[in-house]
Structure formats: structure tokens, C-alpha cells
């Protein structure tokens, strides 16, 4: 009969620890396994595909359990953390053989999505954890990469800025205190970001050191919270954490998350991966550190012209000196991930092979310094000075660590011969002891006449002499003391063997113990050099990124841009670098982008698929490349320094907020109109297509006029509303451009070349033909098009078919042809077209009067949209 099991001391211990970490999977160490119990086991078995068993099977309520081998636990932990869970690792805190009663256990580390160390697969990616607090004045945001020690902090005014920064960091975990409102944490959860709570705690000495340069109290608070959380979860030395660096997003070229996404800087829109992005094109780095720094530079292009020019000068120097650049690359290939190696040193998780990698990396530094010193000019001098070889560490590792060190640091074989006299003595005893045992075995065989006699060893019985039972009579019972009986043999010891065994085993145990102590001492010495090693890592990463720029410039024929202060923009034969790489240089058609200081808006017309969006994106990418210090894809380029880039490209609903495509369009447009300056770059691609034709046309014209009269930013505006091209007659800063296309035998041929002036037609039906639309449909579309062009207004036309009469409503959508002989649409003309039929109702007339009196030029797009919606409801 089943009975209820009394809770054992082990389960009492487990439940007590679990109560402290209710939101984490508890990996509870039992011998050679980590076990999971109860709900952890049920859920863990499903996620990790483990066999679910039970403990106390005969009880009424058996305890579900599953386990993983301790040597393979890291893979299972990584799976859980990558899925957004936390894992608390519980270890045995004392030797079970020496424990009195229950073995003491405790959590030694809490692994979370934000504190997971990077793996080889994502070596060029940072894993940031972010902390957030909210004061009356603003938000404080801090972030860190635990594996590299990087720490930054800033203050932000609005929640939109907070989300933009968090999304740009691609953080997987945000640590909040009680001041952060629920609306923010709920949105973070919807975005798939883990939210962890960390109450404000008294400032510790370690935290004070890391925040000593901060003067803003909000920054001090959020930085302290972040370090407090890291200390609480990691439960070990965090000596590699660098002092917080305060930054202001506005001191870099500002782009919101949507702009970065639309421009595909680091993530391909279709696949979500790196391939097909600007980062993919630029990444010729040889080190993991360089790869991470390249991504950081792309995320934060510079505004300071002098710094940009310094980077350009180094790129030019490397570009002009091929053989020296090749030597630099050969050295960088041998440089391992110093930042993360240093992190493991501080963490105490570094092993002998890691230190050999550290030594190999440091040995490349003198070679790099030597090569850089041979290059002409003074531009490489500061970089040479930053390349500190930290020779003390190299010499220490060469002297102390075995080149063939095993992965484990507790089983011997890590320390070099000659490093420690005591260790050498132990090793001599072990070496000579083995020789002595071989000689003893030969002697015993000769004395006893037993050729099969052998000397062996196991951990339980130590050294022994093994003899088959058939030969036992030949042994002297006075000398041979029985130790173990086997089926077919007996094992014995002798006084001589006992004496030598004590010496050998003592040497083995003490040798292993001493080796680990010596390794820890070496590790602690290296730990004192952490700041120098981190500075070196930064210098190596910078050199790596700059040589990558030189390789890309040479491979893809990039040129060095120059900068101007007069808002003049002149790009000759500009190319979209990623599209060009995919298509091949011979198939890509370059285009000029020329905007004089007084030319703020370029209105672009042309058919779909002709390259308008590519043309607009290529300008943004050229600007970003120039402001990170790279050369650019053109035959010549003169650029102003831009402070912000705004884009409205593509059509997609916002699934998080539930906004429609048109609302997303208006929100992004409004963001640009509110925050852009004359030094900004705005890219609007077919703005207004998400609503009815005349609404969209009216808003598009109003936005163009607003940008022209109030913002004065460099703006590229592509549209299918051909009527808008007439604005060039009224707006002096607007210039018409169109993408060339020719029609041959009814087929459309794109030339992908930008030409002055407006397009003469939209070729919408031709594009439909290219898409493979049925011929009958295309014929019908031409009939409707001719009717519309002749009427000049929207109408309803009919056509007789064999079976029925088909009525076709000809509301003109954003991608349909619009007659090109119309003038720019004024506010009053839009309303007359919308309500062309006579109005007899006085209430309708009142609405029309209100509509006519609206001053669209003084309204934001969102205000206009809301007003139109209200009037529509009245009608």
C-alpha cells in the first residue's frame, strides 16, 4: 500500500534553497549529476527533452525528478537561458566524505539571459544586461556586458527614448526597481525581454569605485542597482568590471530603432540574420573584439569631424601600405578574445589553455608595434602607444604554464617543470617511483618464479601485487599480506611496497594540490594587470576595425569622403554597398546625389521596382559609413555632418501597440517632424499610401511644405502622387528627380538611373505585367486607366461580360497612375474633389465650411488625421 513519504533532509534542503529562487530552475548537485525536482523537473524535462522519473515511487505523491551529468550541464543551462529562463546552480560546499550529516549546499551562481557569458558561436556579439530607474526628472539607464566588463550609463527624458535604447542594445534582460511603471515592464515583456527586480541597496565599496566618475544622482542610482544585481547573481569576483562611462545619445548620430531596422544596419529584415546587412559587408575583422567594436561603431556614428578624420587617415595609411597591412592581419589572426579571457581571469573560471591563448595574443603585440612604426606619418603614433604588450604577463605564463595544459586545473599537468622546486621534487618522486615499481615487479617475478605476477593500482586499495590463485602457494606468507580477493586471483602487499606506496601517493596528492595553488597564484597575479589588458584589448579592436575598413575600401572601390560646413551634399556615382555586393559591380547602376545648400528636398517619382528605395537607402548608408570613419561607395563624395537620420520606409503594422500601417507611418513621420533639425537627414518613402488617395495626397503635400518651411532638413521624398511634382514651382528648396524607365513593345525596361525632373507616368500597369498578372486583367486595367485620364475624376464604369455586368470602383490608390497634367493639390481643391456633388444638407455644409477653414500647413500630420477622422464621423 502506498504511503505518504516524509520529507527527507535532502528535500528539506532543496526546498529551502528553491524558496530563495522561485523564478529560476534549480540545478541541484548530487554526486556526478545536477538534479531537478517537482515543477522544475516537469518543465525542464519537456524543454530539455530529458526522461522524467520520480523519487519515492511508492509514496502517494512521488516527487518528479530528472537530471543531467555535471560535465554536460553547461549545454543544458545554455538552452534554458537562451529561452529566457534563469538557472540557479547549487553545488556541494564540502567534501561528502568529511561531512557530518547532510552535505552543505548553496547557490554558487545565478545564470540569467543578461549574465550569460558569450560562446564561440556568438563571439562577435555583445550580451548586454540593462538596468532602468525613473526619477521625477528623467530615466536612468545603465548597461553592461558581464563577459567583457564594459559598463555605460545615460539619462533619458522620455519612455520612447528608453525603448529605443533598449532595442538598439538588443538586451535580453532589464533590471528594474520599484520606480519603473508597470506600463514599461509590460511592454518589455511583450518584446520578449526578461524583467528582473532589484531593490535599491546601500552603496558598496566596489560599486563606489565603479561609479566614482558619475556626477548625476540618477546615473549613480541606476549604475549601483546594476552592479548590485550582478554581484547578487554571480557571487564571485567582478574585478574586470570597468568604471562606468556616462554617454549622451545626442553626441552621436541619432537613429531610432525603426530607422536602423529599415536600413538593415546589423539585421536583415527578411531573415533576421547578419548576412545581407551593412555589418556583413564591413566585417573583415580578424578578432572577436574587433567584430564587437565594429558593431558598436555602426550603432553610434560620430558627430565630431576631427575624430572622424583621424580614423580616415589611419584607413588611408593602411590602404596605401598593402604589405604592412597584410602583416598586421597575420598578427591579428593569432589574437584571441582578450576581453573575455580577462573576464574569465576575474571570474576565476580561466584554465591553463585560456592562459596559453592569452600568452599567444600578447606575443603578437610587439610584432604589431614594429609594423606600425614602419608606416609613414605621425597618424599611427598614438595607436602604437596604446599597444602595451604587458610583457610581465607573457613572461609569467611562459615560465609557469604548460603549453599542453589540460582543460581541468585540479588534476595536474598545468604547471611547467622548473617553476616550483617543491613541485619538481614531487614529480621526481612520482617518476622514480614508477621506475622503482617496474624494478620491484621484475624482482618479485624472479624471486617467486611467477611470470604472471604484476603490480597494479586502484583508488580504493592503492598499490598491490596480483597473483593468480594457482600460484599462491609459491608466495612467502610472512612477507605477503592479503589485501583483496578476486574470482581468479589474490592481491597482496609487502612492507617494501607499503613504504614506497606512501611516498608515491603523498607525492601525487600533494603535487596535484600544489599545482592548483600555483595556478591560482598565477591567476591572481594576472588579475592585477586587468586594466592594462583591457586597454590593450580596446587598442587591438580599434586597429582591427580600421584595417577592416581598409580591406573593404580596396575590395569594393570605396573613396575617402570630405566634409563641408555649408550643407552641400555631392555624391558622384554613389552605390548601395550591400546591393552592389549581391548583384556584382558590373550589374549595379551608380547614381549621383547632388543637393546644393539651398536644396533641402528631393522629390523622387518613378515606377515601382525601379530603385527609388535603394537610392534613398544608399544615401543613408553612405552618411553612416562616412561618420564611422570608413570610406564610402562612390567615385567622389562631399558631405555635411548629419546629427540624425529619420526613415519612413516599408509598410508594416506595429504588432506590439496594435497600430495600423497608416498609424505607424504617421507616428514615424511625426517623430521626424518634431525632432529633426536643419542638420538632419529624412527619408520618406511613399508616405501617405496607407490611407485613401486624397487623404494621403493632402498629408504628403502638407508634410513636404512643413519640412520646407519649418525643418529645412535634407529630405528625400519618393511618391506616386505625380501632382506633387508641381510643388517645385512654389517651393524654392524642392528639386524633382525621377528614375528612368523606357517602354519597348509594351514591356517596361528599368534603367535604374536617376534623372532630373518629374516622371511622365507611373507605369503601374507595366509593373503589374512584370509581376505576371493575367492578360485579360491588364487589358481591363488599361480601359479603366484611359477612362480615368479622360474624366480626370474618380468614377464608376461598367463593362459587359458573357455572364454579368461588373462594376469597378476606380478609387485611385497610392500605387495607381494619376494624370500628370494636374497642378499641385491645394487644400481647397482636395476638399472640392472629395465632395464634388451638390450639398443640400445644412449639417454637411457646416462640415465642409469647417474643412475649408483648416490651415493644413500649420497642423502636424497626426493633428490633420485626427481632424479628418472627426469630420468624417460628423458626415
Handedness of CA 292, 294, 299, 301 (dihedral sign): positive
Interaxial angle between packed helices 305-320 and 530-556, expressed in degrees from 0 to 180 and rounded to the nearest 10: 70
**710 annotated to bind ligand:** no
843 band by pLDDT with thresholds 50, 70 and 90: confident
Q: What are 3's strand-pairing partners?
A: 59
Average of pLDDT values for 156-160? 91
Q: Characterize 386-418 residue by residue with b for buried, 16 or more Cβ atoms within 10 angstroms of its Cβ, and e for exposed.
A: ebebbeebbebbeebbbeebeeebeebebbbee
435 band by pLDDT with thresholds 50, 70 and 90: confident
8 A C-beta contact, residue 836 and residue 863: no
The domain at 562-760 falls in which architecture?
A: 3-Layer(aba) Sandwich (3.40)
8 A C-beta contact, residue 416 and residue 399: yes
So what's the pLDDT on residue 770?
A: 62
**838 annotated to bind ligand:** no
Asked whether the predicted pLDDT for residue 243 surpasses 50, the reply is yes
Tell me the three cell numbers of residue 851: 474643412
8 A C-beta contact, residue 838 and residue 713: no
> What rounded mean pLDDT belongs to the chain?
85
Nearest Cα to Cα of residue 797 among 836, 805, 816: 805
Tell me the three cell numbers of residue 754: 536617376
Asked whether the predicted pLDDT for residue 820 surpasses 90, the reply is no
Asked whether the predicted pLDDT for residue 426 surpasses 60, the reply is yes
512-545 residue pLDDT tens: 899 999 999 999 999 999 999 999 999 999 999 9
So what's the pLDDT on residue 203?
A: 63
92-109 residue pLDDT tens: 988 777 777 788 999 999
Cβ atoms within 10 Å, residue 836: 10
Q: How far is CA 227 from CA 234, 239, 572, in A?
A: 10, 12, 50
855-875 residue pLDDT tens: 766 666 666 766 776 777 777
**608 annotated to bind ligand:** yes
816 band by pLDDT with thresholds 50, 70 and 90: very low
Sequence ranges of the chain with CATH classification 3.30.420.110: 120-251
So what's the pLDDT on residue 797?
A: 45
User: Within the chain, how many helices (H) and strands (E) appear?
Assistant: 29, 29
Domain range 421-511, its CATH number among 1.10.238.10, 3.30.300.30, 1.10.1420.10, 1.20.210.10: 1.10.1420.10
Q: How far apart are CA 483 and CA 497, in angstroms?
A: 12
Q: How far apart are CA 240 and CA 347, in angstroms?
A: 8
Phi (first) and psi of residue 621, to 5 degrees: -65, -35
Query: What value, to the nearest 5°, has the Cα angle with vertex 255 and ends 648 and 120?
Result: 115
The C-alpha cell 528623467 sits at 138
Asked whether the predicted pLDDT for residue 832 surpasses 50, the reply is no
Sequence ranges of the chain with CATH classification 1.10.1420.10: 305-390+529-556, 421-511
**613 annotated to bind ligand:** yes
840 band by pLDDT with thresholds 50, 70 and 90: low
DSSP state of 743: E
Interaxial angle between packed helices 495-527 and 352-362, expressed in degrees from 0 to 180 and rounded to the nearest 10: 40
Q: How far apart are CA 533 and CA 148, in angstroms?
A: 11
CA 790 to chain centre: 55
Handedness of CA 343, 345, 351, 355 (dihedral sign): positive
Q: Can you give the C-alpha Rg of the chain in angstroms? A: 37
Cβ atoms within 10 Å, residue 861: 23
The C-alpha cell 566524505 sits at 97
Q: Characterize 135-162 residue by residue with b for buried, 16 or more Cβ atoms within 10 angstroms of its Cβ, and e for exposed.
A: eeebbbbbbbbbbbbbbbbbbbeeeebb
More confidently predicted of 800 and 633: 633
Asked whether the predicted pLDDT for residue 355 surpasses 70, the reply is yes
Q: How far apart are CA 643 and CA 632, in angstroms?
A: 18
273-320 residue pLDDT tens: 999 999 999 999 999 999 999 999 999 999 999 999 999 999 999 999
Nearest Cα to Cα of residue 645 among 255, 263, 264: 255
**802 annotated to bind ligand:** no
In the sheet with 245-246, reading across from the earlier edge strand, the strands are 194-197, 173-176, 128-134, 139-145, 150-156, 245-246
Q: How far apart are CA 63 and CA 55, in angstroms?
A: 5
605-614 residue pLDDT tens: 877 776 788 9
Q: How far apart are CA 568 and CA 446, in angstroms?
A: 100
**610 annotated to bind ligand:** yes
Q: Is 69 helix (H, G, I), strand (E, B) or coil?
A: strand
Sequence ranges of the chain with CATH classification 3.40.1170.10: 9-111
More confidently predicted of 211 and 768: 211
**607 annotated to bind ligand:** yes
Average of pLDDT values for 396-411? 92
DSSP state of 559: B
Residues with Cβ within 8 Å of 529's Cβ and at least 6 positions away in sequence, in order, are: 390, 392, 393
The domain at 9-111 falls in which architecture?
A: 3-Layer(aba) Sandwich (3.40)
Q: How far apart are CA 184 and CA 163, in angstroms?
A: 9
273 burial via Cβ count (<10 Å: 0-12, 13-18, 19+): exposed
Q: Is 859 helix (H, G, I), strand (E, B) or coil?
A: coil
Handedness of CA 544, 550, 551, 556 (dihedral sign): positive
Cβ atoms within 10 Å, residue 364: 20
Superfamily of 120-251 according to CATH: MutS, connector domain (3.30.420.110)
Tell me the three cell numbers of residue 524: 591572481
Helix (H) or strand (E) holding 51: none
The domain at 305-390+529-556 falls in which architecture?
A: Orthogonal Bundle (1.10)
8 A C-beta contact, residue 338 and residue 533: yes
Q: How far apart are CA 111 and CA 87, in angstroms?
A: 5
**609 annotated to bind ligand:** yes
Asked whether the predicted pLDDT for residue 117 surpasses 90, the reply is no
Query: Where would I find the H helices in 493-529?
Result: 495-527
Q: How many Å is the maximal CA-CA distance in the chain?
A: 131
Asked whether the predicted pLDDT for residue 219 surpasses 70, the reply is yes
Q: How far is CA 311 from CA 308, 353, 482, 632, 689, in A?
A: 5, 35, 79, 13, 42
Q: How far apart are CA 782 and CA 765, in angstroms?
A: 7
Amino acid at each position: 500500500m502506498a504511503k505518504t513519504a516524509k520529507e527527507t533532509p535532502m528535500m528539506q534542503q532543496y526546498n529551502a534553497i528553491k524558496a530563495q529562487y522561485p523564478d529560476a530552475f534549480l540545478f541541484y548537485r548530487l554526486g556526478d549529476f545536477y538534479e531537478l525536482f517537482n515543477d522544475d523537473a516537469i518543465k525542464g524535462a519537456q524543454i530539455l527533452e530529458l526522461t522524467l522519473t520520480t523519487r519515492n515511487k511508492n509514496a502517494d505523491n512521488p516527487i518528479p525528478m530528472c537530471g543531467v551529468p555535471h560535465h554536460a550541464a553547461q549545454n543544458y543551462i545554455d538552452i534554458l537561458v537562451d529561452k529566457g529562463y534563469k538557472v540557479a546552480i547549487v553545488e556541494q560546499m564540502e567534501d561528502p566524505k568529511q561531512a557530518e550529516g547532510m552535505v552543505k549546499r548553496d547557490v554558487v551562481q545565478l545564470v540569467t539571459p543578461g549574465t550569460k557569458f558569450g560562446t564561440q558561436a556568438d563571439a562577435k556579439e555583445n550580451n548586454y544586461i540593462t538596468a532602468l530607474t525613473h526619477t521625477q526628472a528623467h530615466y536612468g539607464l545603465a548597461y553592461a556586458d558581464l563577459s567583457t566588463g564594459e559598463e555605460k550609463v545615460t539619462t533619458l527624458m522620455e519612455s520612447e527614448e528608453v525603448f529605443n535604447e533598449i532595442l538598439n542594445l538588443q538586451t535580453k534582460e532589464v533590471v528594474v526597481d520599484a520606480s519603473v511603471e508597470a506600463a514599461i515592464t509590460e511592454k518589455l515583456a511583450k518584446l520578449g525581454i526578461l524583467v528582473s527586480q532589484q531593490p535599491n541597496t546601500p552603496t558598496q565599496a566596489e560599486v563606489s569605485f565603479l561609479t566614482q566618475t558619475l556626477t548625476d544622482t540618477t546615473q549613480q542610482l541606476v549604475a549601483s542597482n546594476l552592479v548590485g544585481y550582478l554581484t547578487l547573481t554571480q557571487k564571485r569576483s567582478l574585478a574586470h568590471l570597468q568604471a562606468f562611462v556616462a554617454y549622451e545619445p545626442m553626441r552621436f548620430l541619432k537613429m531610432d530603432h525603426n530607422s536602423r531596422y529599415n536600413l538593415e544596419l546589423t539585421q536583415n529584415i527578411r531573415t533576421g540574420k547578419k548576412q545581407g546587412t551593412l555589418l556583413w559587408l564591413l566585417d573583415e575583422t580578424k578578432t572577436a573584439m574587433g567584430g564587437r567594436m565594429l558593431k558598436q561603431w555602426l550603432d553610434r556614428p560620430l558627430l565630431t569631424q576631427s575624430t572622424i578624420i583621424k580614423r580616415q587617415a589611419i584607413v588611408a595609411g593602411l590602404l596605401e601600405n598593402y604589405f604592412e597591412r597584410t602583416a598586421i592581419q597575420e598578427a591579428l589572426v593569432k589574437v584571441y578574445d582578450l576581453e573575455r579571457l580577462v573576464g574569465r581571469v576575474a571570474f576565476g573560471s580561466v584554465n591553463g589553455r585560456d592562459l596559453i591563448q592569452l600568452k599567444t595574443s600578447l606575443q603578437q603585440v610587439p610584432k604589431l608595434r614594429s609594423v606600425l612604426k614602419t608606416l609613414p606619418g605621425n597618424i599611427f603614433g598614438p595607436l602604437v602607444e596604446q599597444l602595451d604588450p604587458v610583457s610581465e604577463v607573457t613572461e609569467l605564463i611562459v615560465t609557469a604554464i604548460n603549453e599542453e595544459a589540460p582543460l581541468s586545473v585540479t588534476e595536474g599537468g598545468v604547471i611547467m617543470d622548473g617553476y616550483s622546486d617543491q613541485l619538481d621534487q614531487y614529480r621526481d618522486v612520482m617518476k622514480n617511483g614508477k621506475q622503482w615499481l617496474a624494478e620491484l615487479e621484475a624482482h618479485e617475478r624472479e624471486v617467486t618464479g611467477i611470470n604472471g605476477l604484476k603490480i597494479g593500482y586502484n583508488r580504493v586499495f592503492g598499490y598491490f601485487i596480483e597473483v593468480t590463485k594457482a600460484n599462491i602457494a609459491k608466495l612467502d606468507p610472512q612477507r605477503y599480506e592479503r589485501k583483496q580477493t578476486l574470482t581468479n586471483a589474490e592481491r597482496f602487499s609487502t612492507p617494501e611496497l607499503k613504504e614506497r606506496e606512501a611516498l608515491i601517493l603523498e607525492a601525487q596528492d600533494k603535487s596535484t594540490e600544489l599545482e592548483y595553488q600555483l595556478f591560482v597564484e598565477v591567476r591572481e597575479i594576472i588579475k592585477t594587470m586587468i586594466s592594462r589588458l583591457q586597454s590593450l584589448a580596446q587598442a587591438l579592436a580599434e586597429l582591427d576595425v580600421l584595417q577592416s575598413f581598409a580591406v573593404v575600401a580596396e575590395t569594393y572601390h570605396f573613396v575617402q569622403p570630405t566634409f563641408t560646413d555649408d550643407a552641400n551634399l555631392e555624391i558622384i556615382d554613389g552605390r548601395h554597398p550591400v546591393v552592389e555586393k549581391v548583384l556584382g559591380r558590373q550589374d549595379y547602376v551608380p547614381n549621383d546625389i547632388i543637393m546644393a545648400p539651398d536644396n533641402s528636398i528631393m522629390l523622387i517619382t518613378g515606377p515601382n521596382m525601379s530603385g527609388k528605395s535603394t537610392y534613398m537607402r544608399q544615401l543613408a548608408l553612405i552618411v553612416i559609413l562616412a561618420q564611422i570613419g570608413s570610406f564610402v561607395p562612390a567615385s567622389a563624395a562631399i558631405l555635411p555632418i548629419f546629427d540624425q537620420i529619420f526613415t519612413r520606409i516599408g509598410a508594416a503594422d506595429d504588432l506590439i501597440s496594435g497600430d495600423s500601417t497608416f498609424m505607424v507611418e504617421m507616428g514615424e513621420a511625426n517623430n521626424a517632424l518634431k525632432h529633426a533639425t536643419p542638420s538632419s537627414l529624412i527619408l520618406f518613402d511613399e508616405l501617405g499610401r496607407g490611407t485613401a488617395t486624397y487623404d494621403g495626397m493632402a498629408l504628403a503635400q502638407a508634410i513636404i511644405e512643413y519640412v520646407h518651411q519649418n525643418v529645412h532638413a535634407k529630405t528625400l521624398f519618393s511618391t506616386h502622387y505625380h501632382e506633387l511634382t508641381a510643388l517645385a514651382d512654389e517651393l524654392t528648396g524642392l528639386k524633382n528627380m525621377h528614375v528612368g524607365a523606357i517602354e519597348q513593345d509594351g514591356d517596361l525596361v528599368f534603367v535604374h538611373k536617376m534623372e532630373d525632373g518629374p516622371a511622365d507616368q507611373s507605369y503601374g500597369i507595366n509593373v503589374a505585367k512584370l509581376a505576371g498578372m493575367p492578360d485579360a486583367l491588364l487589358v481591363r486595367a488599361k480601359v479603366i486607366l484611359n477612362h480615368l485620364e479622360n474624366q480626370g475624376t474618380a468614377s464608376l464604369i461598367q463593362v459587359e461580360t458573357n455572364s454579368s455586368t461588373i462594376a469597378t470602383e476606380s478609387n485611385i490608390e497610392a500605387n495607381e497612375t494619376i494624370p500628370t497634367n494636374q497642378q499641385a493639390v491645394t487644400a481647397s481643391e482636395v476638399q472640392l474633389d472629395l465632395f464634388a456633388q451638390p450639398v443640400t444638407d445644412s449639417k454637411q455644409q457646416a462640415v465642409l465650411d469647417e474643412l475649408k477653414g483648416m490651415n493644413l500647413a500649420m497642423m502636424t500630420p497626426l493633428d490633420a488625421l485626427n481632424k479628418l477622422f472627426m469630420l468624417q464621423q460628423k458626415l
